[in-house]
Structure 1
């Protein structure tokens, strides 16, 4: 399964980057950006995790971008099942197309079911992620972003999340 999924994700991201780069011309200044990230995980007790976070942005200046990001994740194992949907605005500031600073607000809708204790929970939670990272060019106007974010609204005993620190990897096309 892993031998199939990893090449599939690489092919999809490469195709998306090449399609946008071919359609871009120097005379037509498009300020819209598109991107996001995809995550897959496996663990013990038949644990499986799938996550997608598409984003649409608009370059306010050459170095400042604002937009909307969504996220959906699905987790399952022998003991629990969880679905989480999030949506909110983001703001990115780019430094020489090598580094970026980011602010991202997300409102999450969480549905959790414990299979062992037959416990169900529907919650909502807010997160304000602040951070930044490194950008690597992968095409004409396409970049891979690798960074670290911290949820400044995270509270240890009242959050559904286990930590406020979030590593992230994503792609953006249109910069």
Structure 2
């Protein structure tokens, strides 16, 4: 059941998730970027989901950015409660100012409690997300990103996630 509920809540919160990187124009000497995202979800059986993912990056070139991203999520319902923390490096390559490809390695620490069966799980899982997508300019140096990422380390029988495919929608400022 946990393999179904946790990823379902992650997928339902995608429309509410946004990623904002605040940086400087390419002409400036400051290449640091800061940002993050937030997700909120609601569902049946008093389900509530809250997620935040701060990040800090450094533009090695105008098109290549590397950094560290963290994530924390909290989910609760009438039947379960879970928390999940993740941290790891990321890299994004932007080309033609309309497309991007990226990689994100996350190591997750998962705490899950089923209230109905009094079942508890403390697990760790590593995910390597690879993917890319389209970027649409929405401002001077602001872009909306729409893409897909796939966890190449995902295994159906052992993962706490129900799928390796993750759609993403985000906003980036400062590219």
For 1:38 and 1:67, how far apart are their aligned partners in 2?
18
For 2:161 and 2:69, how far apart are their aligned partners in 1?
19
The number of residues matched between the two structures is: 160
For 1:25 and 1:145, how far apart are their aligned partners in 2?
18
TM-score, normalisation: structure 1: 0.83
Deviation at 1:41, TM superposition (A): 1.0
Contact 1:132 1:147 in 2 (8 A): yes
For 1:105 and 1:87, how far apart are their aligned partners in 2?
8
Report SS of the residue matched to 1:61. coil
More helix by share: 1
For 2:133 and 2:118, how far apart are their aligned partners in 1?
41
Counterpart position of 1:38: 38
Deviation at 1:27, TM superposition (A): 6.2
Structure 1 segments, 4+ long, off by >3 Å, are: 24-28
Please, which runs of 5 or more residues in structure 1 have no aligned partner? 1-8
Deviation at 1:53, TM superposition (A): 1.3
For 1:170 and 1:93, how far apart are their aligned partners in 2?
15
| Greater radius of gyration (CA) | 1
Q: Which has the higher contact order (CA 8 A, sep 6+)?
A: 2
